[in-house]
Amino acid sequence: MATFQAPKGTYDLIPPYSAKYLAVREAISGPLRKSGYGYIETPGFEDVDLFARGVGESTDIVTKEMYTLTTKGGANLALRPEGTASVLRAALEANLHKAGGLPVKLWYSGSYYRYERPQKGRYRHFSQVGAEAIGSEDPALDAELIILADQAYRSLGLRNFRILLNSLGDAECRPVYREALQGFLRGLDLDEETLRRAEINPLRVLDDKRESVQKQLVGAPMLRDYLCEACKAYHSEVRELITAAGVVFEDDEKLVRGLDYYTRTTFEFVHDGLGSQSAVGGGGRYDGLSEMIGGPALPSVGWALGVDRTVLALEAEGVELDIPPATSVFAIALSDEARKVLFGAVTELRKTGVAADFSYGSKGLKSHMKNANRSGARFTVVAGERDLAEGVVQLKDMESGEQDAVALADLVATVRARLA
């Protein structure tokens, strides 16, 4: 009988490598938790129309990449391909925008699903940490989120990333630019699907990575020339605020991101050590999304950072995270009576907050010591019949190699004191 394997384009996170992912999630969410963002969790699947309306019908995500299913009751659902639409839907459903002052600030972490061509850094199941600030049109919010993401990456030790920044205009100036861009695109030699996309959302064509398309885009009208005064002033303030915070960025006039809901501020974090999959995260302002999914006008801004991509970026820079061992004390029993006594001691150590583990099974001392080494524990506690008769255990410092007898009654206090 064939053994099962993870589906194509997915991965399993296994210790000790998985500790990197936990550390990255912790580092990204840390600045958010200290800045007024509360944790939110949403279902892994939603009504398919939430994404069709919110993410955009012209996007590759909706047209090619969503995993969809029909329930026995006839409901059409999709595995979530991104986080923003789900978080906004949940916030609206819970009336968070009516519960107190705006903005509603939320952060989340989870798995997302897209049917993509698998390659390094691009998976069909991937992990993100995201943040959304809902219900306020304020350049300081856009700046805050960019600064917090920069802070998170730097706390991990990443240095070789770049921040790309652009403005996509708003409901006043975008339609004028859209018309000019569509007029330009209609005169190009584009395939049928690209022309169809240009009619739905021409900005998506600017994001086309094919060289045959990019060559023809030389001389295309630029959005900066069409921004209204309000959008220019808004973008100028975002730039000033992040510059004042010491965050370096690059203006990128072709940056549109792969989602239709963005307005005004849009940004991307890229790392040149990742090859073609260089984006490690990104986001922007989405002032009209709430109305698109049936809610009131709630101007909002947010981002999502890829945990998978961030881990790859750390590896590309050769950054080793300082991840403490999962176990501080490892207990080895050399007799049946010692098993009971040391198992009890391990339980007591855990109750006092010390990470402790036990060598299970009836192996010899050599095998038990191998387990102790693998655990990364700072101390090993060993006891046999003679030790118990004397009321002691042997406490070995795995770093120095020093070993001494410690009274069993004093074990917990001694271990805590030495770890401190």
Task: Collapse the DSSP code of 9 into the 3-class scheme (helix H, G, I; strand E, B; otherwise coil) and give the result.
Answer: coil
Q: What is the DSSP string of 338-357?
A: HHHHHHHHHHHHHHTT--EE
The CA-CA-CA angle for residues 282, 255, 89, to 5°, reads 45
Residues whose CB is less than 8 angstroms from the CB of residue 278 and which lie 6 or more positions away in sequence, other chains included: 270, 271, 272
Q: Give dist(CA 284, CA 203) in Å, integer.
A: 15
Feature table: binding site for L-histidine: 82-84, 114, 128, 132, 257, 261-262
Residues whose CB is less than 8 angstroms from the CB of residue 72 and which lie 6 or more positions away in sequence, other chains included: none
Feature table: binding site: 82-84, 114, 128, 132, 257, 261-262
Residues whose CB is less than 8 angstroms from the CB of residue 401 and which lie 6 or more positions away in sequence, other chains included: none
Which three-class secondary structure string do you get for 134-163? Answer: ECCCCHHHHHHHHHHHHHHHHHHCCCCEEE
Q: Specify which residues 69 forms β-bridges with.
A: 77
- Among the listed residues 415, 351, 352, the one whose alpha carbon sits nearest the alpha carbon of residue 378: 415
- Among the listed residues 288, 284, 171, 178, the one whose alpha carbon sits nearest the alpha carbon of residue 230: 171
